Chains A and B, each alone.
Chain A
Amino acid sequence: MKRTWPQSFLWLTLLIIVAIALIPILIDSASLREDLFLTLMLVILASSINIIMGYTGYVSFGHIVFFGLGGYFAFFLMLNYQVHFVLAALASGVGASVFAFLLGIPVLRLRGAYFALATIGINEAVRSFVTNFEPFGGAVGMFFNYAVYDAYGGARNALWFAYYAIVAVALVTVAASFLIKKSKFGLGLMAIREDQDTAQVLGIDPTRYKVLAYTCSAFFPALAGAIFFFKNGIIEPGPAFALLRSIEGLVMVMLGGYGTVTGPIVGAVVYERLRAFLITNPNFSSLHLFIAGLLLLVIVLFVTAGVVGWLRQRVPLLRRYLE
């Protein structure tokens, strides 16, 4: 019973996500669908950042670069070669992973703050490059003709299609995050997070493990980017490589609990709800980033483990049941 629990926990988590994701379909609500689309996208982003930051201990500030690149790759393929969306999205995931792999080999040699700074630099460099890269539309970006959506049953259906896609990717991301954590690979990553030199003395090749973790963590944001900009119909360098969203991703991971599977999910949901509340509330609408910053400060100073981590520390029983 105890041995099978972690698996049951994964199924339970996925089931809850599916159950919630079904609601807008059942009541045919477009506004709820858009809310959940955004939330699930943030879940994907936060869970991916958690693989490199929470499991491996490398804070990736510029992780949004993979989201943007994924969006651009897929958009480019769909626009110029009429590639089917699903194929284009998968190709963009692979493309972003290859990029992360090649980049990771030199950059992951850096430790601590230097790595974090380098990832910001990468995001800014890629954004500048794309802004000046004509095949990607340069500073203007690219946009779809509505006819593109005909292949998916018209624009209205395409929105639903994008929703199904983001649900599927969110499920796969959460499952991957869980499986990595519970695998030998994940144990190696956590050993590196705790003490890279000791991990090495125990037989772990740190470079190989870190680069692999970085590669995995680039795949899912790229898919999310592909779906997001497919739905948007337009992609520009600014929104694609928005550093702000990257930092919000870090806040979500910290808020929920880095290094746990459910932490980034809880963090993404809570943060998104909080933001939605603040933005629509006339008293706070311009303050939501201020409050996000404050929140991060409070977490870093007082509850470093985040919500899920804190619960696990406080209630020993939960350690066995809450991943």
Chain B
Amino acid sequence: MILDVQNISKRFGGLLALNRVSLSVQEGEILGIIGPNGAGKTTLFNVINGVYPPQNGQVTFRGENITGLPPFAIAQRGIARTHQIVRPLSELSVKENVTVGACFGREHLALGAAARVADEVLEFVGMADKRDMLASKLNVAQKKRLEMARALASRPLLILLDEVLAGLNPHEVTDVLGLIRKIREQGVTVIIIEHLMHAVMNLSDRVVVLDYGAKIAEGTPQVVSNDPKVIEAYLGDPKAAERLLEGST
């Protein structure tokens, strides 16, 4: 087990964004996290990588309690993430952005070595031709890819991908799905938040479903997609729909 999240709760004023969420991730696995908007998925990432300290509960990464550590300390231990709303370092070039990831991530590389890693990773994500562009000049799809490159350059053990497919066209989606599989092949564990159902069901070994801050289901994609509670969370009560249909006839 590489990551163990136990009983995490996070409250923002009157809103309970995460309610006693527990989950664990095996090394080398792809875990999908799904749930309707506002279910607490991104908040969970923010708790795991230290942006928000949780009110209670514990996050354990490779046997070490990392709850409440600042984000930079967690990044240095090997957890990298991408942001749902892209946050490029605008006035730096694409390559500099990725070099930052390599320099300050898990391996603390010196500048020269980090620049080489940056080149490799840019090649890997297919952005080598953009390396000298300013990050602010990229389009959204490219910025998302840059987020992934930056995270990968830190040579993480665990990568948290927050909606990297949203807003991409079908062709780009296929591309990025291939990329994520390749990341896993390199031995990196992946947790992915995604709204694109067919993609997440295809990709994930296991899926966790959040709704109103609580975990409502967990299992293989097949099990989860047939779980009535999951269907209800997304579509409302399926029985109610049936009754409605019966009533109308």
Residues from 68 to 119 in B contacting A, C-beta threshold 8 Å: 70-73, 75-76, 81, 83, 87-92, 96, 99-101, 103-106, 110-111, 114
CB distance from B90 to the nearest CB of A (A): 6
Q: Is A203 in contact with B96, judged by CB distance below 8 angstroms? A: no
Cα of A206 to Cα of B101 in the assembled complex, Å: 14
B103's partner among A188, A193, A200, A319 (CB-CB below 8 A) is A188
Q: Is B75 in contact with A191, judged by CB distance below 8 angstroms? A: no
Given the interface pairs A201-B49, A203-B76, A203-B104, the reply to whether A194 lies near B154 with Cβ below 8 Å is no
CB distance from B73 to the nearest CB of A (A): 8
Residues of B within 8 A of A31 (CB): none
Given the interface pairs A190-B92, A195-B87, the reply to whether A184 lies near B111 with Cβ below 8 Å is yes
CB distance from B221 to the nearest CB of A (A): 29
Q: Is B90 in contact with A194, judged by CB distance below 8 angstroms? A: yes
Q: Is B150 an interface residue (CB 8 A)?
A: yes
Q: Is A205 an interface residue (CB 8 A)?
A: yes
Cα of A3 to Cα of B83 in the assembled complex, Å: 33
Residues from 146 to 203 in A contacting B, C-beta threshold 8 Å: 182-184, 187-188, 190-191, 193-195, 197-203
Residues from 195 to 229 in A contacting B, C-beta threshold 8 Å: 195, 197-206
B71's partner among A195, A201, A259 (CB-CB below 8 A) is A201
CB distance from B162 to the nearest CB of A (A): 11
Cα of A199 to Cα of B91 in the assembled complex, Å: 13
Cα of A195 to Cα of B90 in the assembled complex, Å: 9
CB distance from B104 to the nearest CB of A (A): 3
Mask of B115-150 contacts with A, CB within 8 angstroms, 1/0: 000000000000000001000000000000000001
Q: Is A187 in contact with B103, judged by CB distance below 8 angstroms? A: yes
How many residues belonging to B are interface residues under a CB distance threshold of 8 Å? 30
CB distance from A86 to the nearest CB of B (A): 33
Q: Is B233 an interface residue (CB 8 A)?
A: no
Residues of B within 8 A of A187 (CB): 96, 99-100, 103, 111
Question: Which A residue sits closest to B86, measured CB to CB?
Answer: A198
Q: Is B51 an interface residue (CB 8 A)?
A: yes
Residues of B within 8 A of A198 (CB): 83, 87, 89
Residues of B within 8 A of A190 (CB): 89, 91-92, 96
Cα of A195 to Cα of B136 in the assembled complex, Å: 13
Question: Which B residue sits closest to A259, measured CB to CB?
Answer: B91
Question: Which B residue sits closest to A206, measured CB to CB?
Answer: B72
Question: Which B residue sits closest to A194, measured CB to CB?
Answer: B89
24 A-B contacts, Cβ less than 8 Å apart? A187-B99, A188-B104, A190-B91, A190-B92, A191-B92, A191-B100, A194-B88, A194-B89, A195-B90, A197-B51, A198-B83, A198-B89, A199-B89, A200-B70, A202-B100, A202-B154, A203-B75, A203-B101, A203-B103, A203-B106, A203-B154, A204-B72, A204-B100, A205-B73
- Sort A-B residue pairs by CB-CB distance and give the 8 closest, nearest first: A203-B104, A194-B89, A203-B75, A198-B87, A200-B71, A184-B111, A191-B100, A205-B72
